[in-house]
Amino acid sequence: MLSHTDLVEAILLSQQLSLRRVRSGNASGRTRDITFDPVLAKSLGKSPASAVANSVEISADLKFKEGLKFVLEKEGSKLVREDGGPESSRYGILQSTATYYGYKGNVRNLSKADVEAIYRKVWEKSGAASLPFPLSTVHFDSYVNNPAAAEKFLVKSQGNIETYLRLREQRYTRLAEVKPEQYGKYLKGWKNRIQGLRNMVADYRQNKGFRA
């Protein structure tokens, strides 16, 4: 199994390699990313062929928008005041997170353009851009919830989506058991969110297409 450092290095290298583009054959002349770089595929214990078989060559922008759409569907636009924590959030973005990524105002005033700009930076930092869909959305959504935990899930699962989601679910259950007064009320919503990811993955695998 890869160490966290090895996997992060593989992701970073993959991000560098993904700067290369291959021309699509359509009339628009738009470029498309290489689906799944061999370096990252090898690092996750998969051959490039098996990775491609479970993903599709799509534009980097579409892949990001799929991840963003899922997160925003689950987070909503309502301002959440502290919610048991030290700060408010909106669209799932904490005030400290917004500030970290360069936003100067109060999260209550976030525009949709601000939200997309912040989440695009989160997307790149998380390494989701270098992962194939639908793993990219699974990892991005987890990273939005807890960056450190998401990185551990990616390492331990070796890129296997079912294992990744099982690890995430186990963490939520453990939190609710250890601190029921703090986390118990969130467990149902957390599990519903994971089920939403499972449904998205199942729909993609069945239809080989996107909701967008």
Domains and CATH numbers, the chain: 4-207 (1.20.141.10)
What is the per-residue pLDDT for 78? Answer: 92
Which value, to the nearest 10 degrees, does the dihedral of the CA atoms of residues 16, 17, 19, 22 take? 180
What is the per-residue pLDDT for 211? Answer: 47
What is the per-residue pLDDT for 38? Answer: 42
**CB proximity list for 56: less than 8 A, separation 6 or greater:** 35, 133, 208
Q: Strand pairing partners for 79?
A: 90
| Burial zone of 23 (CB within 10 Å; 0-12 exposed, 13-18 middle, 19+ buried) | exposed
φ, ψ of residue 142 in degrees (nearest 5): -65, -40
What is the per-residue pLDDT for 87? Answer: 85
Q: Are 164 and 139 in contact (CB under 8 A)?
A: yes
What is the per-residue pLDDT for 164? Answer: 98
pTM: 0.73
Low-confidence residues of the chain: pLDDT under 70: 1-57, 82-85, 208-212
